[in-house]
């Protein structure tokens, strides 16, 4: 029986102070596996800019919060970060969150959880970044910015920055159970 062995980085604490290390671990693995597509969650765009710098020449897709996430008529992605990401060849995706949207409105209005939020809460057992990595993979697949079934690296974090990186094969949201997590490259050690 064959096996693969490679290191996984576990951070003692989640958060943005892990961003550089997470991006470096992801960059090294992308080179080892010849992975050309990198997904990265970014709120203000700061992490997206850094990823676009490190992964220049690859298909970098920066996934933002949906407009209105922080309040009506707001977009948290800063214009200067948008410009920098695009100048570095990165693409930006802003769309409805795969694990939120109309169902979140039902929960807020009727005080009852819907299936997508139950999935989100379950994935958070592995960490906020793990949930976001799967979510942005679904969103990017639904938008046609990544190929379904083709391995990529997804990077996300807990609140801000990056502390989680996974090698996964995206699926469309309607085929959620076809998504495959191949490797955990980095994540916070939850305790």
Cα separation, 169 vs 9, whole angstroms: 20
CA atoms within 13 A on the CB side of 179: 27
CA distances from 143 to 43, 53, 61, 135, 148 (A): 19, 23, 11, 12, 11
Model confidence at 113, pLDDT cuts 50, 70, 90, reads confident
Helices 46-54 + 19-33 axis angle, to 10: 30
Domains in the chain, CATH or no CATH each: 9-67+76-188 (3.40.1380.20)
Q: Which of 99, 102, 115 is nearest to 156 (CA)?
A: 99
Collapsed DSSP state (helix, strand, coil) of residue 168: strand
DSSP string across 27-87: HHHHHHHT--EEEEE-SSSHHHHHHHHHTTTSEEEEEPPPTTTTSTT---S-HHHHHHHHH
DSSP string across 19-34: HHHHHHHHHHHHHHHT
pTM, whole model, 2 decimals? 0.94
pLDDT digits (tens, 9 = 90+) for 127-152: 999 999 999 999 999 999 999 999 99
| Helix/strand/coil percent split, the chain, to 5 | 40, 20, 40
Mean pLDDT throughout 29-54?
98
Q: Strands 152-156 and 37-41: what pairing?
A: parallel
Q: Is residue 39 a contact partner of residue 146, using CB atoms and an 8 Å limit?
A: yes
Cα separation, 184 vs 186, whole angstroms: 6
Mean pLDDT throughout 25-41?
98
Per-residue pLDDT, 1: 74
Model confidence at 107, pLDDT cuts 50, 70, 90, reads confident
Model confidence at 63, pLDDT cuts 50, 70, 90, reads very high
């Amino acid at each position: 029986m064959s096996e693969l062995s490679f290191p996984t980085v576990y951070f003692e604490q989640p958060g943005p102070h892990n961003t550089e290390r997470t991006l470096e671990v992801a960059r090294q693995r992308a080179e080892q596996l010849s992975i050309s597509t990198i997904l990265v969650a970014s709120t203000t765009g700061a992490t997206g800019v850094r990823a676009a710098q490190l992964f220049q020449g690859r298909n970098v897709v920066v996934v933002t919060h949906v407009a209105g996430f922080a309040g009506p008529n707001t977009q948290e992605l800063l214009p200067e970060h948008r410009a920098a990401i695009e100048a570095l060849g990165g693409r930006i995706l802003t769309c409805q969150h795969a694990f939120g949207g109309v169902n979140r409105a039902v929960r807020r209005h009727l005080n009852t959880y819907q299936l997508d939020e139950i999935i989100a809460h379950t994935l958070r057992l592995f960490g906020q970044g793990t949930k976001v990595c799967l979510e942005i993979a679904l969103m990017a697949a639904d938008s046609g910015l990544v190929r379904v079934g083709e391995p990529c690296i997804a990077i996300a974090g807990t609140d801000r920055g990056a502390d989680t990186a996974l090698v996964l094969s995206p699926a469309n949201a309607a085929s959620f159970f076809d998504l495959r997590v191949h490797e955990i490259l980095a994540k916070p050690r939850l305790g």
